[in-house]
Amino acid sequence: MARIHHATLALGLLVALGAACDRSRAPEPEVVPPASPPANPSGAPSVAAPAASLSTKLRRAAPDRVVAIGDVHGDLDTFERALRLAGAIDARGHWSGGTLVLVQTGDEIDRGNDDRAVLDLVEGLKKEAAAAGGEVIALLGNHEIMNASADFRYVTPRGFASFSPAGASSLPAADTAAPTRGRMQAFAPGGTYASMLAGRPLVAEVGDTVFVHGGVLPKHVAYGLDRMNDELDAWLTGKRQTPPSIVVADDGPVWTRAYSGEDAAPDCSALTKTLARLGAARMVVGHTVQKEGMNAACDGKVWRIDVGLSHVYGGPVEALEIRGDHATVLREEAGAPKP
């Protein structure tokens, strides 16, 4: 359980970060660009900058099969259906994916009622997958960061109650603040669930595919993805007073819609530059509901996989399967995955 000053800190952060959550622009962080190669006196073409080096926390070797699932938003039932569609769990909810690498691109919580159950399921599957030679990679989304900032505007009453000390059934009728306190203590920096979230990467590169909630821009690579990730971890564990401003800015990696917005063309130029710096072939993003289901843009360089999976949106149950250079949308139809 978080100490009282952590809960107080979280309340303070609500004021400081309210603008970011409302999407007014946060101050731009200082971005230190990579050093330029020395001038070539011969006039020959300059050598391209080497691919950005990522730590093992953010980068994985290519597995035989990767499946990605987008925003869950507190809906355990549809999440489990998506996991079965992916071949990740059996009928009892236990790992059955063998060496499968499963990536969930953030926003597991808010809007639905099953926040805690979804988070706990993922943590359990991580252990079961590792024992079977597979892996579950759960990324951070803007809603995980909002909760750690004490921004609970999208939390349902049952979402609050599940974090109360004894659960909703035994709460005194007059003690309406108890569920709020329980969730705040759990998600306040240094709290049990905030510390658990600190173990989740902001970005993951699996083989030649980059996974992120909103998107990775060239400025993020220049700042340093590992640096950004480490600073966010330090905040979630209570070792830093505020999250890195580059993360919570309007164009931060959990907020940007540069590649996923349906009302404007994706920024394919920025995407191409980012992928080149990361030595990757494609990016997979969530965050923005795709009304027509999962789809690719920029000649297949970006896949948008937030399909409104939660019953709150009523979208289809879909998952993205990647084998080598081929990406395939799996879709639940009449209780069976689409080939």
- Residues carrying an active site annotation: 143
324 to 27, 216, 270, 321: CA distances (angstroms): 40, 22, 24, 10
Q: Of 249, 246, 260, which is closest to residue 215 (Cα–Cα)? A: 260
Q: Name the residue type at position 108.
A: E
**Which residues, in sequence order, are bridge partners of residue 101?**
66, 135
**What DSSP state is assigned to residue 95?**
B
Return the ∠ at Cα 289 (arms to 292 and 330), rounded to 5°.
55
> Percentage helix, strand, coil, to 5, in the chain?
30, 15, 55
Per DSSP, which regions of the chain are E strands?
59-60, 66-69, 101-104, 135-138, 203-206, 209-212, 282-285, 295-297, 302-304, 318-323, 326-333, 336-337
Distance CA 10, CA 20 (A): 15
